[in-house]
């Protein structure tokens, strides 16, 4: 059992037992403008990042996929087309409001046959061992309180030969690019949050949570320690985002 008493919430130190509640409040606040803000923040590039993660997942027709912290369903929408009518994708999120919006969106798109929904905690996945061919968590791991527990849980529910795909903000590469990225993150992003979502604080948290997330090499090492093999990562947009992939053998 993890005996960690405190953890980070952005740059603040908070009781570990309180972080999930605080993250929930952030996403309750931004859920209504989440998709619009994603497009604005990344100039639409997040859609390319997600398609690259899909390609790196090697998901095939008929497979079972768990989309963890799936929010409004971007990755689920991509995966369900790939697995086809004989496959299955579970859209999951710990946040009920985000999950509801994802479910409503997919139903509106006519996606009803090969997708299920679950409100779950990534640290305690309620699925049998060796159950999924792929588990994907896109832009969600940095919000998990005990990341090591989540990685072990993901490893447990994967079938032998199954893949974990982690798409997450990471450490930008290059001094000049880092300076420009910091300016954008800490000045422009909260301003966008204020004007579009009426919530500057949540987007300030977003920028801080990215800086506190393990960098590429550290996350790769955490995956190895959780039992994954053949772990590797792929930097996108100068390392602003990275896709990590690991296999259960």
| Residue range 20-173+204-247 in CATH 3.40.50.150 | yes
Asked if residue 6 belongs to a known ligand binding site, the reply is no
Asked if residue 72 belongs to a known ligand binding site, the reply is yes
The full set of domain ranges for the chain reads 20-173+204-247
Are 91 and 70 in contact by the 8 Å Cβ rule? The answer is yes
Angle between helices 74-83 and 45-57 (to 10 degrees): 40
Q: pLDDT digit of tens for each residue in the chain (249 aa)?
A: 444 588 888 888 888 888 888 887 778 777 777 778 788 888 889 999 999 999 999 999 999 999 999 999 999 999 999 999 999 999 999 999 999 999 999 999 999 899 999 999 999 999 999 999 999 999 999 999 999 999 999 999 999 999 999 999 999 999 999 999 999 999 998 888 888 878 888 888 888 999 999 999 999 999 999 999 999 999 999 999 999 999 999
Asked if residue 93 belongs to a known ligand binding site, the reply is yes
Q: What is the pTM of this model?
A: 0.90
Are 127 and 66 in contact by the 8 Å Cβ rule? The answer is yes
3-state secondary structure of 138: strand
How far is 111 from 85, CA to CA, in rounded Å?
11
Predicted pLDDT at 31:
74
Instruction: Give the contacts of 198 (CB within 8 A, at least 6 positions apart).
Output: none
How far is 143 from 169, CA to CA, in rounded Å?
11
Asked if residue 121 belongs to a known ligand binding site, the reply is yes
3-state secondary structure of 172: coil
Predicted pLDDT at 1:
46
């Amino acid at each position: 059992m993890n005996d960690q008493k405190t953890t980070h919430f952005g740059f603040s130190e908070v009781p570990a037992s309180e972080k999930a509640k605080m993250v929930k409040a952030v996403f309750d606040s931004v859920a209504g403008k989440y998709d619009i803000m994603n497009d604005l923040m990344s100039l639409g590039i997040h859609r390319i990042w997600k398609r690259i993660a899909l390609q790196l997942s090697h998901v095939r027709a008929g497979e079972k996929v768990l989309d963890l912290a799936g929010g409004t369903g971007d990755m689920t929408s991509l995966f369900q087309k790939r697995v086809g009518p004989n496959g299955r994708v579970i859209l999951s999120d710990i946040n009920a409001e985000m999950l509801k919006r994802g479910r409503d969106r997919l139903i509106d798109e006519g996606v009803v046959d090969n997708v299920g929904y679950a409100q779950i905690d990534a640290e305690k996945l309620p699925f049998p061992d060796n159950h999924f061919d792929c588990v994907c968590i896109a832009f969600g791991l940095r919000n998990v309180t005990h990341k090591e527990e989540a990685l072990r849980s993901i490893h447990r529910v994967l079938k032998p030969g199954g893949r974990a795909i982690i798409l997450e903000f990471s450490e930008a590469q290059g001094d000049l690019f880092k300076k420009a990225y910091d300016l954008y993150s800490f000045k422009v992003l909260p301003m966008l949050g204020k004007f579009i979502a009426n919530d500057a604080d949540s987007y300030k948290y977003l920028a801080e949570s990215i800086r506190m997330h393990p960098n590429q090499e550290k996350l790769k090492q955490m995956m190895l320690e959780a039992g994954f093999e053949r772990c590797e990562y792929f930097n996108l947009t100068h390392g602003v985002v990275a896709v990590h992939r690991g296999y259960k053998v």
